[in-house]
Structure 1
């Protein structure tokens, strides 16, 4: 049955854009047991170590072990076979999967052998190898071994005790189970596995992706990873005649709109959460006939191709993102601000609520501290995840309480997109008995005002933090901070409050870690971090960021109780910030703010207001 059925095209689990020369070299090295896992790791020469390949940890790197047990090396070899036709790559792949089976099935000494995610991706790789092997030769014994390995994996993935609910790993488990049950459709439970995979996948999709296309696991970079995976799975379903592909097509379209707005103007992914600041890995989804695809093409080509997005600013309330900019054309005068706050799960969650990133002068200016790696216990990883590694307010030198009981207690609250400015506010209650409210007013194109209100009934130390991108140099200048890029472009940050708060700058401090940023995997680079510090029960911060320091458009600034008044370029602005919301006015006229429904957050704030006697 398996021998005579039509070939099934299996997609890759890791999109790589290696040149043919590079891929051929990787494959030839693997023939000699020199294991290339990814560009960021040296080639591992397993033949000369005397240590079992499947339990070794040469780089003390969790991700290296993960990709080893995913059998990513087999994916390289199969891809090499598809391009060059060398059957020796298939024979080597068979030897590797046989060796893996000998040492890891049914039990293994490495925690990555039956990790919930590596198990799923490995099964897809094995299915792809099987389909390639069928074109080379046929041996009933080998085919039976493939089926046995696949069946064991499918039994694992279908087990409710092994399955990761409400998690991106679970979605990959669903995809792998469906693919394997299709490739090995003769297995007794194949039909039931396919049905189970689809049922679970639909629930995962609702949990992972908001209706507006934003990703609910706090890291836009993973939205790109899953864009590729969902596209491949959509095509796989379509090829199998499964109508569920239409549901994925709609999700993909909405995700593409999110990516178009969230990308930095230079086409890189912003380093929010566990996202790496890399170029967008464009996949075949860019060929879809879709309005949102056309707009992304415009963004990626800097206006040469596609159609211009209809709006400069976009709100993605589901994921908790607001993306503001002054124009779509990318040059040194393009400014983008991404403001975000949301707690939907603990997956890829940093202590970054009410943080933001700022891009201008042709580069990132204010940034998150990055991902570093996934060695969760390392001090470097703990730093980049911490509140100190983000552009937010830290309370008592501690991190927010990201327990599951706090899910929903963070989010954006109000917004206004118009002229001459855009406005977004948000709140979170992730510190015990503290409400943090932040409002950002972007007066385009050069001026950003950041207002923070902290409410409590106890004394606290509050630090308003800003992390500058590595290479941006900072100095004190008349009570303000003057930031300078390598191209001598300037930015000034200054407090608008007359309370003699002294700004503090630190860069590259080692004990404890302060003033660092991880732009590349596994490395920290010194980066200036600015802190304004205040103590009290209820504390305010008002900070002006100007990308054109020679002009000072703000005057007559006053903050009395909940009322903020100032003049900017002749416009009289009044902003009232209270725990229950924000009210904005200009020149005596009230501006209609759109309210974002946050039922869990609203209930928590009302409870805290009563408990803290905030009125």
Structure 2
């Protein structure tokens, strides 16, 4: 009897446990089916914490860029004060990660790439300042908990390049914090490793990849993060993918033997060079092809360095100081360098510089600058491109990328296209030198849709003059508007026969000649509506400068502009007849014809010869 009662109680107890287990299973299923919490990260195996604890200390500082910091910068950072994209920002304990005081895409990207934590990590690495590391860890944890992939706080939070830069900082913070005993909470350690794994998976996903300069930074982030935490599932495989993808991306964006990154901007030439250099530093493999390509790209970057050691301000570029490697190489570069397939050409001496832009490879960072040019003489940027104010879609940005912001010829007031469909590669046709002159000939295929053929011939004698000869041909009448954007150093006087630029005792004379006798000239400086006469030298920093425009009407028009930079005599070139495959110019010195300059095109070569002008009877 007692045995039966006991058995009966056991049976009842078993039924209760079964009911309890059923309820728990239902609750678990509901939890599993519910959305991830706001700060959700990837799940990592339980053994990951143990592997993290066994990882060698201190960890290598595997990030894309590392800079030294001053004691003042370190002190400010330890109090949560940072300069991010030119803005002083206090990173609070519970940061509002939607914060954007200037309404800028650039600011949002810089806030979320966490590169500014480098100051704190520098203090820890160099001074073993654990309090600086503790501050960095606190910021990283706050970011991870409040910036889920499924619900980004801003449009830049999980942007491809931003995630590529950020991932290695989170990985390093996690490794370093573990080494210093700052991750005793295993749940927190798993959360941070989950964030690293989430970044690795995001960066490895082909759906997120951008085969542009941004892809290089994604791959570097993948490689750095994968190496820092190679014990995470799939990290090694993803790292290997990043290595293969990086090399493929470089090869698809650079023409062998020319070394120009085909994204239309000086900025990305230098960024790509630095990314490749960093890749080779960490790759530890023999890659002679990539190493040779890097040398060529460094040489090309140096050609994009003007005598003032600042960048050629082409495309999406500020007027930044060139990297030291480029400054060093640039000192020995002389003569002419033509990248015929890339679509850019240079002439350089110690004090003189000319660059011609004739390239359109894709819509990436594209400006309507076809056949634009930059001229530097005797410590002045005589003709200079506009640069870019920022990357925020608005009136200043739209102006900076437009035809009117570049030293080009515009037909009937229409902008040159900037989409992928109209890309033509290079417009360079021929080049040559002779009698101290350098010649470059290029075409703008974009105006053919308007029924116009436009070839531009540049003839340049450093220290003397630049001749800009535009040959425009059409079966019907058009309005041809030429822009010349002068450097901000110069004041300007306009007389009936020329434009006079002056900066201190330096003088530059500009003569505008045309087969249209009604040629109209106009000059503006610092005009707000519509925008004209500005150069953007830094982020949202603009300087007023003089811009000249000439307007010619007709079907077939030849315009010849002479920019005389000779301090001792004024040079003025006039075309002797139409601009054709063989063209002659009468060269006047101080108003008297002294020379005849003849240029003959033979396929891709220009034959240039200067002779004494016939004596006047």
TM-score by length of 1: 0.83
How far did residue 151 of structure 1 move? 1.2
SS of structure 1 residue aligned to 2:520: coil
Aligned counterpart, 1:538: 556
Change beyond 3 A, Cα 1:47–1:556 = closer
Q: Are the counterparts in 2 of residues 216 and 318 from structure 1 also a CA contact under 8 Å?
A: no
2:318 corresponding residue in structure 1: 276
Name the CA shift for 1:388/1:95 in 2 (closer, same or farther; >3 Å). Answer: same
Q: How does 1:100-249 map to 2 (within 5 A)?
A: 100-107=143-150, 108-137=152-181, 139=184, 140-165=186-211, 167-211=212-256, 212-238=258-284, 242-244=285-287, 246-249=288-291
Quote the offset at 1:12 in angstroms: 4.0
Which residues of 2 match residues 439-518 of structure 1 at below 5 A?
Answer: 439-485=457-503, 487-497=504-514, 499-518=517-536
SS of match in other structure, 1:374: coil
Q: Deviations over 1:495-518 (max 9, x none)?
A: 233624232111122111121111
Q: State the secondary structure of the residue aligned to 1:449.
A: strand
Give the TM-score taking structure 2 as reference length: 0.82
Corresponding position of 2:596: 572
CA contact (8 A) 1:475 1:483 kept: yes
Do residues 408 (structure 1) and 424 (structure 2) align?
Answer: yes
Which residue of 360, 366, 375 corresponds with 1:358? 375
| Preserved CA contact (<8 Å) 1:78 1:132 | no
Task: Tell me, yes or no, if the aligned pair for 2:575 and 2:585 is still in contact at 8 Å.
Answer: yes
Given the superposition, is the C-alpha separation of residues 13 and 425 from structure 1 closer, same or farther in structure 2, using an over 3 Å criterion? Answer: same
Counterpart of 1:612? none
d(CA) in 2 for partners of 1:571, 1:533: 29
Q: 1:525 to 1:168 in 2, by over 3 A?
A: same
8 Å contact from structure 2 (residues 149, 158) kept in 1: no
Q: Would the aligned equivalents of 2:311 and 2:320 in 1 still touch at CA under 8 Å?
A: yes
Q: CA RMSD in A?
A: 2.6
DSSP 3-state at the match of 1:280:
coil
Q: 1:583 to 1:443 in 2, by over 3 A?
A: same
Query: Which protein has the larger Cα radius of gyration, Structure 1 or Structure 2?
Result: 2
TM superposition shift of 1:64: 0.8
1:316 and 2:339 correspond: yes
Q: Deviations over 1:524-579 (max 9, x none)?
A: 2221100111122333211111102652455663232635322348553334689x
Q: Does 1:24 align with 2:74?
A: yes
Whether the 8 Å contact between 2:98 and 2:154 is mirrored in structure 1 is yes
Q: CA deviation at 1:127?
A: 2.8
SS at match of 1:455: strand
Instruction: Name the CA shift for 1:179/1:22 in 2 (closer, same or farther; >3 Å).
Output: same
For the residues of structure 1 that align with 2:143 and 2:473, how far apart are their CA atoms? Answer: 56
Q: Which residue of structure 2 aligns with residue 95 of structure 1?
A: 138
Counterpart contact for 1:439–1:451, Cα < 8 Å:
yes
Report if the CA contact (8 A) 2:434-2:609 is conserved.
no
Contact 1:13 1:125 in 2 (8 A): no
After superposition, the Cα gap between the structure-2 partners of 1:471 and 1:97, relative to the gap in structure 1 and judged at 3 Å, is same
SS in 1 for 2:283: helix
- Corresponding residue for 2:362? 345
Distance 1:417 1:582, change over 3 A: closer
- Residue 399 of structure 1 corresponds to 415
**Secondary structure in 1 aligned to 2:208?**
coil
Q: Distance in 2 between matches of 1:319 and 1:8?
A: 42
Please report how far the alpha carbon of residue 475 of structure 1 lies from its aligned counterpart in structure 2 after TM superposition. Answer: 0.8
CA drift of 1:359 comes to 0.9
**How many residues are aligned here?**
547
The answer for the alignment partner of 1:266 in structure 2 is 308
Does the CA contact (< 8 Å) of 1:380 and 1:524 recur in 2?
no
3-state DSSP class of the match of 2:153? coil
- Between the aligned partners of 2:298 and 2:264, the Cα distance in structure 1 is 16
CA contact (8 A) 2:137 2:174 kept: no
Change (3 A) 1:396 1:489: same
Q: Provide structure 1 residue ranges, at least 5 long, that are not aligned to the other structure.
A: 287-292, 303-307, 329-333, 589-615
- In structure 2, the gaps of 5 or more residues are 1-50, 589-593, 612-617
The corresponding residue for 1:427 is: 443
Aligned counterpart in structure 2 of residue 10 of structure 1, from 44, 61, 80: 61
What residue is the counterpart of 2:614 in the other structure? none
Counterpart in the other structure of 2:328: 297
Separation in structure 2 between the aligned mates of residue 9 and residue 74 of structure 1, nearest angstrom:
16
C-alpha spacing 1:36/1:587, structure 2 compared with 1 (3 Å): closer
- Mapped to 1, the partners of 2:239 and 2:84 lie a distance apart of 31
Is contact 1:425–1:582 with CA below 8 Å preserved after alignment? no
Check conservation: 1:368, 1:391, Cα contact below 8 A.
yes
Residues of 1 paired with 2:534 and 2:559: CA distance? Answer: 23
Task: Measure, in 2, the Cα distance between the counterparts of 1:357 and 1:561.
Answer: 23
Which string of whole-angstrom CA distances, capped at 9 and with x for unpartnered residues, describes residues 421-467 of structure 1? 11111112223333321110112331110111233344322111111
The offset of 1:68, in angstroms, is 0.6
Q: Structure 1 318/195 Cα, relative in aligned 2: closer, same or farther at 3 Å? A: farther
